[in-house]
Amino acid sequence: MQLAITHIGKDQQILMTEILSAVSDFNCKVVDLRATQTNSLSVGYLLIEGNWNHLAKFENTLNGLEKRLGIKIQTQRIENAEKPRPDCLPYAVETLAI
């Protein structure tokens, strides 16, 4: 099962750090991540994958993140997601930027 998440806030680094640590805490995986920074706003899109119970627990924490960080988060569950192709390899990317 997959969960699509969009967020709008002020500080991209804090947003991504908080959301990605919550994803890791609930044993979910990031399938796709896109983010952009304008003058005063940060906008991002994440596609998270995991068991239905892990995703449900993760969704429950998003309300707390919204209130604590002063951001807006919208979610949409995706039930019939395609399975990853067997000829693909998972990878991780670490990015450091100004």
Q: Give, for 72, the enclosing helix (H) or strand (E).
A: strand 72-78
CB-based contact 31:90 (threshold 8 Å): no
CB-based contact 45:4 (threshold 8 Å): yes
pLDDT, greater one: 91 or 67: 67
Tokens 């609930």 correspond to what residue?
26
At residue 87, the pLDDT reads: 74
Average pLDDT for residues 38-43, to the nearest whole number? 83
At residue 53, the pLDDT reads: 87
CB-based contact 33:61 (threshold 8 Å): no
Instruction: Say whether pLDDT at 67 is over 80.
Output: yes
At residue 7, the pLDDT reads: 87
Average pLDDT for residues 61-86, to the nearest whole number? 80
